[in-house]
Amino acid sequence: MSAVNRINKYNLEQRARELNENGVSLRDIADTLTTESGHKISKDSVFSFLKSDKKYTAEIVESKAQLKAKVVEAEISTIDQRKQVIDGLLGLAQSAENEHTRVLAFKEANNALDSLDKRLGKLSVGQASQTVINPGGTLINVTNNNLTLKDKIQRYKEMGILNGS
């Protein structure tokens, strides 16, 4: 059985990594592992193990980077879909023939904006939502954070999240 396998067989991987990270020489790592395990571990075996371990670590790092890229792509896709929903709701609200439909569409647009805010981490979760309609029938205050729907829409347009119109 090779000494590299002994490092694995005797569960010395973490100890070998730890010593290596602390700048201990290959010879001293081999001596320490031999003393601690009671099994002969050579300097060449330590070198071979650490070399293969670095390749394995590099593969894990690459795999994590690819996974993160996929997560980012999924997040962007979700945000794009939410933008389309919000744009559609705002269009419906602006073209609605009766006030009830207009208010409902603005309310749903506000809910969608709140959801997008939470997704983007812009607002704290758990803020109570309230709808206040001024005498002219427009929505003026939608959450306790004192941002109006108009303010939210303007902010998202400035950020390029919503289409300007």
Residue 5 pLDDT grade (very low, low, confident, very high; cuts 50, 70, 90): low
Angstrom distance (rounded) from CA 97 to CA 139: 16
Give the three-state DSSP class for 142: strand
Average pLDDT of the residues of the chain: 78
Which residues have C-beta within 8 Å of that of residue 163, sequence separation ≥ 6? 83, 87, 157
Residue 1 pLDDT grade (very low, low, confident, very high; cuts 50, 70, 90): very low
Q: What is the pLDDT of residue 163?
A: 66
Q: What is the pLDDT of residue 125?
A: 42
Give the three-state DSSP class for 44: helix
Contact yes or no for 29/51 (Cβ under 8 A): no
Residue 142 pLDDT grade (very low, low, confident, very high; cuts 50, 70, 90): very low
**Residue 71: pLDDT over 50:** yes
The answer to whether the pTM exceeds 0.85 is no
First to last CA, the chain: 73
Mean pLDDT (whole number) for 144-151: 62
Above pLDDT 90, what percent of the chain? Answer: 21
Give 12-69 pLDDT, tens digit per residue.
999 999 999 899 999 999 999 999 999 999 999 998 898 888 877 887 788 888 988 8
Mean pLDDT (whole number) for 81-87: 88
